Amino acid sequence: MTAPLTPPPPPHEPSPHDAWPSPGTAAAPHDAGRDGPGMRTELREAAVITVLVAITGVALGLLWLWLAPRVPLVGEVVDDSWVVYLKDTEGEQAVGVDGTFVLLAVAFGAVSAAAVFAWRRRGGVPLVVALALGGLLGSLLAWRIGVWLGPGQDVIAQARAAGKGVTFSAPLKLSAKGALLAWSLAALLVHLGLTALFGPRDPETYGQGPLQKDPYGAPRA
């Protein structure tokens, strides 16, 4: 009985792309170890952004106090009691107070979003949450600062101090509490737009769409 003349096939030479790890070495996925430190870094950055954005609410409160229109009030004595009423019942100053806050909050939201994007030219859930939370905290801080530094809340005492029939300013008040969300919404929209327009893109091969990788992270032919 004769042996076959066909030589056996040559042993398979493993390529660098399909090489298996040596014994005793665990096969780790691509970029293993980066997710943990990367997420911790993003969380730290988000905490810093939240604090910085919230602190700028002081500037918003001062601008609101300076730019918001004053609501004129007048005090009168009726039956030995002080009564306070609006001097101009058809005036729109109260609406202007809320509108001024909203416009300023939108401007602050756009600037804060642009600053965060210029610092970290990417998106990410932590950054977005930081912008939204910082904007809300900044709005709350601005509202309380404006009320605190504005005209006194005791209108009867103000009327007595001003005198009968003398006009004085009403306390600064934010009637539409939904205005507190203007900063956060503006920041989210601006940051989303900047990320969509100027954010990083996935690498693409000419005419073949996104670069495909095998399970080990090496580019496929």
Q: Over the chain (221 residues), what is each successive 10-residue block's mean pLDDT?
A: 53 50 45 53 90 96 94 83 78 87 97 91 83 96 95 84 82 91 96 84 54 54 52
E-strand spans in the chain? 72-78, 81-86, 167-169, 204-205, 209-210
Q: Which residues of 33-48 are buried (b: 16+ CB within 10 A; e: fewer)?
A: eeeeeeeeebeebbee
Q: Which residues of 112-144 are buried (b: 16+ CB within 10 A; e: fewer)?
A: bbeebbeeeeebeebbbebbbbbbbbbbebbbe
pLDDT at 157: 85
Per DSSP, the three-state class of 168 is: strand
pLDDT at 33: 41
pLDDT at 77: 80
pLDDT at 19: 46
81 bridge partner residues: 78
pLDDT at 85: 75
pLDDT at 119: 86
pLDDT at 2: 52
Please report the sign of the dihedral spanned by the C-alpha atoms of residue 98, residue 63, residue 110, residue 35: negative
pLDDT at 73: 87
pLDDT at 23: 47
Q: For residues 46 and 122, is the Cβ–Cβ distance under 8 A? A: no
Q: Which two tokens stand for residue 166?
A: 């003398």
Phi, psi of 196, deg, nearest 5: -70, -35
Pairs from 8-14 (Cβ < 8 Å, separation ≥ 24): none
pLDDT at 146: 94
Vertex 127: Cα angle to 191 and 118 (nearest 5): 55
pLDDT at 129: 93
| 148 Cβ contact list (under 8 Å, min separation 6) | none
Please report the sign of the dihedral spanned by the C-alpha atoms of residue 142, residue 189, residue 110, residue 51: positive
Vertex 63: Cα angle to 59 and 66 (nearest 5): 145
pLDDT at 30: 43
Per DSSP, the three-state class of 73 is: strand
Phi, psi of 183, deg, nearest 5: -60, -50
Name the packing angle between helices 57-67 and 93-119 (round to 10°). Answer: 150
Nearest to 101, CA basis, from 144, 156, 53: 144
pLDDT at 182: 97
